[in-house]
Amino acid sequence: MDKKFVYSEIINKVTSAQNIFLATHENPDGDAVASLCAVAEWLTALGKNFYLACADEAEASFHFLPQTAKINKLTANLDFSRFDLAIILDCGSLRRTKAEAAIKAAPIPIINIDHHLSNDQFGAVNLVDADAVSTTQILYELFKYGKVDISRQLASCILTGIITDSGNFAYAATNPRTFKVASEMIMSGANARNILMSTAKNKNLTTLKAWGFALSRLRYNPNYDIAYTVLTQRDLADLGIGKQDLEGLASFLNNLKDAKIVLVIYELGDGRVKGSLRTNRDDVDVCVLAQSFGGGGHKKAAGFEVEGKLVPAGNSWRVE
């Protein structure tokens, strides 16, 4: 793929559009929210009308990012006739927007900007780079090509995606380029320490107690060299937490060196069970594993959702 060709195609489509629909995946993480906000900053500078959408609200910890107040709840009955272009960010598949059918039915071109290995190239234009540590890093390259002025706010969005999706510069995808872009963003006014305080060092007591409970339940399966823990809806209710409190738990468990793979499984409360997979090993690709359950993600971090509930089975659990 000639990236420059794709960059100019995106810039041409954005330049000639007037009302742009932007969306990211459900349960948006730092990179998802930051990507949405980064493109919103760009479109604001260009004087375009835009509509930011996500199936779930952005957590309060991301409210320091510009434009978050403009994020709308994405519903399947949204009227797409007013839009002339769609930009979907940080989504490996349109399914992850939770409004796949509505977006597909809209007679407008879709620009797909993403870094998931499992991306299924759903766009009319696809800017997909699985080697990029975050979607915001891909946006940075696009903005550089388009000579977009990197304001302090825009730099803050780009750095937030990099910091959160690289696990604070710890994951395997982190490379010299990651540090170079991060350094440039700091030079442009982004505050790395504030971003870390808002996105990582932001856990409350209830959350950490719940993590403690999950840790006490940690099991190891030597057949698969996998360490895992589970939380039922009942556990979540007893602990007084929601699914947003489990954000980061799988990555935290991945501090473990005694297993090839870590897995956190919990009930979503709507008849589905969610699994988050992590690995530090170069010879393991958890994306493949997640895909075998209908999910996706990255080589070192992936997830899936399946129908069912968690049922105790001996010293373990199974999904029924």
Contact positions toward Mn ion, by CB under 5 A? 31, 90, 135, 165
Rounded to 5°, angle at Cα 69 from 68 and 74: 80
Q: State which residue, 59 or 267, has the beta carbon closest to Mn ion.
A: 59
The strand pairing partners of 22, in sequence order, are 52, 87
Q: State which residue, 116 or 239, has the beta carbon closest to Mn ion.
A: 116
* Residue 27: CA count within 13 A, CB half-sphere: 13
Q: State which residue, 132 or 246, has the beta carbon closest to Mn ion.
A: 132
**Closest residue to Mn ion using C-beta atoms:** 31
Looking at the chain, how many residues does it have? 320
Q: State which residue, 156 or 229, has the beta carbon closest to Mn ion.
A: 156
The CB-of-230 to Mn ion minimum distance in angstroms stands at: 25
The CB-of-129 to Mn ion minimum distance in angstroms stands at: 11
DSSP letters along 159-209, please?
A: HHHHHHHTTTTTSTT--HHHHHHHHHHHHTT--HHHHHHHHTS---HHHHH
Q: State which residue, 41 or 165, has the beta carbon closest to Mn ion.
A: 165
The CB-of-41 to Mn ion minimum distance in angstroms stands at: 18
The CB-of-161 to Mn ion minimum distance in angstroms stands at: 7
User: Is beta strand 49-54 parallel, antiparallel or unpaired with respect to 85-89?
Assistant: unpaired
The CB-of-154 to Mn ion minimum distance in angstroms stands at: 17
The strand pairing partners of 306, in sequence order, are 273
